[in-house]
Structure 1
Amino acid sequence: MVVAAMRDEGEEGRRRAVVAIRDYDPKTDRDGTEAVERECEVGPAAAAGGMSLHADLLGDPVARIRHSPHYLMLVAETSGPDGRIVALVRGTVKSVASGKSRPGAPAFARVGYILGLRVAPSHRRMGIARQLVHRLEQWFELMGAEYAYMATDRSNEASLRLFTGRCGYSKFRTPSLLVHPVHSHRLRPPPRATVVRLGARDAERLYRSRLAHVEFFPADIGAVLGNALSRGTFLATVGGYEWGGVDRFLACPPASWAVASAWDCGGVFRLQVRGASRLRRAAAAATRALDRAAKWLRVPSVPDFFRPFAGWFVYGLAGSGGRDAAMAAEAVFASIVNMARGRAAAVAVEVAAMDPLRGRIPHWRRLSCTEDLWCMKRLGAGGGGHADGWDWARSAPGRSIFVDPREV
């Protein structure tokens, strides 16, 4: 346990708050952490007019991270007889590809990921967030992590001030989160593309053969693909390629192909758009009614985002360098959206800023976030893991990035 004294200069003048930072206890802390989650907005505004996106975790608050190989959740609690939880943070540690190749094999690094940092509005600007991050970084180093990183929206000035201004993180990557609603009608994949579904073992072989050098590719990809929340892996080819199994594909792949897997985030949390006017709700309901009554019109209907809904996440999106690889990526994404009908209201994918596949991924701009930002910091104990002094946190971005669905 760490006890820290925090200062705040507010309207009431200088005051001090003493909090204890400790591990989350599922037996006593669930109600307190859920209360903090409800007080804090999650994600960027979904649309104009004051609407915002909220997430409600299902089950225990560690459900969002318990699928990772190593995880920790910390809480900050005020002292005294009326003490309560006022802040929390989650973290995971794993081995991932750093994007730097060693002779004959990809270079893996051990990294810590910070997510779910929440501070109750009544206790902000007291340094509590910084203390939580520092404590989590100490745990990362004890677990052998060489780097720590986090993701935020580029418009989140408070988060950026904390991490880049006070905690020593550097702006690292700028991927885009592309979101498509799930309609009652099916999306039409490109007619020249053929999509097949792979088993978990075949998918792991393909990923390790073709994606092992991609930044943040997890060393335990088999555990991700075999997780109960993983809904399958799909491979699309273009140009009349006849599927003959993964061995034949790896030995002689076609010029244009793409692969991706689906993850059911609805098994961990539900999303909800709040703050919508009655007029917006009525208009969205009208589009759904018309879409159900006349699917042949292919109305771009708006799902009921104003009630708790499930979402799916597409991960492991990658393709060949062929000229029609982006078309294959569109076919894979459309197939997953169609599979999500009746199970989720939206499907999302996160792609690197320079990913050549992103131009063909169907999405709604109003639901998507093109201003995502990842920040990274090289931790002291790990030393970066490279004798040549190479620092991943200051390296140039690649064309692709692997987004682990366990950290969404």
Structure 2
Amino acid sequence: MMMGVPIKVREVEMERDLAAVEELERRCQVGISGDQNQGSVADADGGGDKKKKSKKKKMSLCVEQIGDPLARVRHAPEHVMLVAEYGEKMVGMIKACIKMVSLPNSSSTKPSPPSSATSSSSLSSSSSSSPEQQQQEEEEPYVKVAYLLGLRVSPSHRRKGIGAALVQAAEEWSRARGAARATMATTASNKASLALFVGRFGYSPFRRPVFLGRPVHARRLPIPAGHRVFHLQPPLAAAAYARHFPPEETEFLPADLPALLNHKLTLGTFLAVEAAESSPAASDSSFAMLSVWDSTRALRMRVEGAPGLLRAGLAAVRELDRRAPWMRVPSVPDVFRPFGAYLLYGVRMAGPRGPALLRSLCRHAHNVARENPACAVVAADLSPDDPAAAAVPRWRRFSCDEDVWCIKDLDGNGDWPAPPAPAPGTVLFVDPREF
């Protein structure tokens, strides 16, 4: 209640609410995590402008969603957008989706998900499985997890309990659909968001992925002659990931990974080996692999707060490259205007030459990105203790270590009072669909 006027939370009606949703998104600019506010402009509701800032340069890398408001959750069979109304005015919203993902350290014994070839109807007959099959399913480390995304509160209606009402409604929606855990993402400097989710709703900081970005240069980047890059078709890519991302050793691996690899926005899965290897299957000692996701149609980034000298310098380099292309100056696009990005996911390497092969794969992804005029940055989200993070090229001004993932037990059975530390060798899988 606000001054006798009730706050009403309901599901969105897109035909009726689209204009109001887009206006609220416009007024609540967001940062790389795309969900919460930070700094003095934030409040306990967690809505408003969020920017990831370089501590020294005071530059901000901002993200704004474009196109389909449900793009980040629509891929999940169970998803929702809730809006909050104050009187007749829309003043807040939140999105949620539910997925089966791997949580190796979870003691929850949820059934394993069906493979890509299993229909939903087969789930109804799972009770006829043999005891051995049922035991195998119970041992699979997959859990039904809710993702809370895109919390927004109108700047004129903050600190009035709207954000709390939206989070509570999203949790109730998720709990009713059997979600055992709920997750959200914010930044370490976003005190208001942490106060809301951690302080009020009992979420626990869980993981701290690092965002590694690199601008797309005007020139192709050479790949060493001793390295070969293979483009894997989705079935082969799924088999490779099943081998190198086993769910018992991977956090947040989506059960529908084959669908992700076959998604129209996944531009390809690539494997790099040394040229001496005769085929991808022979690359057991050293290899690198990753997939490329085209996010240019779903979001735009922009850099704010850049010093004038930097802006002028990069503009001068672009002009020099335009006038004298024979000099092959490594100019970069104008990142001070809205631009798109390609996201690298499923990043994996192994063997003594794995880092070098991964750098070659990142160069290959860069060259793929050059073909899209809307793409100005190639980026990846990785766990900081993942060896691959040290091998992924990045530009400091497009990288950030501020992200905080938080998680909460929703089923209330007391078997998971606090998120455990990752086991040695556990890999974090960041799904680009929730970026």
The verdict on a shared fold, with TM-score over 0.5 as the criterion, is: yes
Note the C-alpha offset of 1:271. Answer: 2.3
1:11 alignment partner in structure 2: none
Count of matched residue positions in the alignment of Structure 1 and Structure 2: 381
Note the C-alpha offset of 1:99. Answer: 2.3
Q: Does 1:37 align with 2:25?
A: yes
1:9 alignment partner in structure 2: none
Note the C-alpha offset of 1:198. Answer: 0.4
1:368 alignment partner in structure 2: 399
> 2 CA distance for matches of 1:334 and 1:392?
40
Q: Does 1:288 align with 2:339?
A: no
Residue 356 of structure 2, aligned match among 324, 327, 347? 327
Structure 1 pair 277/120, CA: closer, same or farther in 2 (3 Å)? farther
2:287 alignment partner in structure 1: 257
393-402 or 21-30, which moves further after superposition?
393-402
Q: Does 1:91 align with 2:121?
A: no
1:203 alignment partner in structure 2: 237
> 1 CA distance for matches of 2:254 and 2:385?
21
Note the C-alpha offset of 1:378. Answer: 1.0
What residue identity is the alignment partner of 1:254? D
Note the C-alpha offset of 1:181. Answer: 0.5
> 1 CA distance for matches of 2:321 and 2:353?
31
Note the C-alpha offset of 1:59. Answer: 2.6
Residue 8 of structure 2, aligned match among 17, 20, 30? 20
What residue identity is the alignment partner of 2:320? L
> 2 CA distance for matches of 1:286 and 1:273?
18
1:149 alignment partner in structure 2: 183
2:228 alignment partner in structure 1: 194
Alignment of 1:316-395 (within 5 A): 316-320=346-350, 322-343=351-372, 344-380=375-411, 383=413, 389=415, 393-395=419-421
> 2 CA distance for matches of 1:401 and 1:269?
23
Note the C-alpha offset of 1:391. Answer: 6.0
1:226 alignment partner in structure 2: 262
Query: Given that residues 46 and 273 in structure 1 are in contact (C-alpha distance below 8 angstroms), is that contact kept between their aligned partners in structure 2?
Result: no
> 2 CA distance for matches of 1:175 and 1:263?
18
3-state SS of paired residue (2:398): coil
Note the C-alpha offset of 1:298. Answer: 5.5
1:297-334: CA deviation from partner (whole Å, max 9, x where unpaired): 564534212222211111111122x1222222222222
1:76-126: CA deviation from partner (whole Å, max 9, x where unpaired): 1111xxx21111111111001112499976411110111111111211111
2:206 alignment partner in structure 1: 172
Residue 429 of structure 2, aligned match among 394, 402, 405? 402
Structure 1 pair 85/258, CA: closer, same or farther in 2 (3 Å)? same
Structure 1 pair 242/289, CA: closer, same or farther in 2 (3 Å)? farther
> 1 CA distance for matches of 2:164 and 2:226?
52
1:55 alignment partner in structure 2: 63
1:221-240: CA deviation from partner (whole Å, max 9, x where unpaired): 11111111110000112472
Structure 1 pair 46/285, CA: closer, same or farther in 2 (3 Å)? farther
What residue identity is the alignment partner of 2:420? R
Unaligned 5+ segments in structure 1 are 7-14
Residue 310 of structure 1, aligned match among 318, 332, 340? 340
> 2 CA distance for matches of 1:52 and 1:19?
33
65-74 or 183-192, which moves further after superposition?
183-192
Note the C-alpha offset of 1:209. Answer: 2.1
1:140-164: CA deviation from partner (whole Å, max 9, x where unpaired): 1122111111111211111111111
1:212-257: CA deviation from partner (whole Å, max 9, x where unpaired): 32111111011111111110000112472221x5xxx2xx542111
Note the C-alpha offset of 1:336. Answer: 0.8
Alignment of 1:243-254 (within 5 A): 243=279, 249=281, 253-254=283-284
3-state SS of paired residue (1:92): strand
Residue 72 of structure 1, aligned match among 64, 75, 80? 80
> 2 CA distance for matches of 1:157 and 1:92?
25
> 1 CA distance for matches of 2:228 and 2:275?
8
Note the C-alpha offset of 1:348. Answer: 0.8
> 2 CA distance for matches of 1:399 and 1:326?
18
Unaligned 5+ segments in structure 2 are 32-50, 110-134
Structure 1 pair 162/192, CA: closer, same or farther in 2 (3 Å)? farther
> 2 CA distance for matches of 1:306 and 1:263?
22
1:354-374: CA deviation from partner (whole Å, max 9, x where unpaired): 101111111101111122111
Q: Percent identity?
A: 41
Note the C-alpha offset of 1:42. Answer: 1.1
3-state SS of paired residue (1:316): strand
Structure 1 pair 155/354, CA: closer, same or farther in 2 (3 Å)? same
1:10-41: CA deviation from partner (whole Å, max 9, x where unpaired): xxxxx565321111111111111112211223
Query: Given that residues 30 and 60 in structure 1 are in contact (C-alpha distance below 8 angstroms), is that contact kept between their aligned partners in structure 2?
Result: no
- Give me the TM-score of the superposition, normalised by structure 1: 0.86
Query: Given that residues 42 and 53 in structure 1 are in contact (C-alpha distance below 8 angstroms), is that contact kept between their aligned partners in structure 2?
Result: no
Residue 134 of structure 1, aligned match among 168, 177, 191? 168
1:10 alignment partner in structure 2: none
194-203 or 28-37, which moves further after superposition?
28-37
Note the C-alpha offset of 1:136. Answer: 0.6
> 1 CA distance for matches of 2:355 and 2:381?
15
Structure 1 pair 100/219, CA: closer, same or farther in 2 (3 Å)? same
1:117 alignment partner in structure 2: 151
Query: Given that residues 233 and 262 in structure 1 are in contact (C-alpha distance below 8 angstroms), is that contact kept between their aligned partners in structure 2?
Result: yes
> 2 CA distance for matches of 1:283 and 1:125?
42
> 2 CA distance for matches of 1:299 and 1:230?
30
What residue identity is the alignment partner of 1:303? P
Note the C-alpha offset of 1:49. Answer: 7.3
> 2 CA distance for matches of 1:260 and 1:234?
6
393-402 or 109-118, which moves further after superposition?
393-402
> 2 CA distance for matches of 1:330 and 1:16?
60
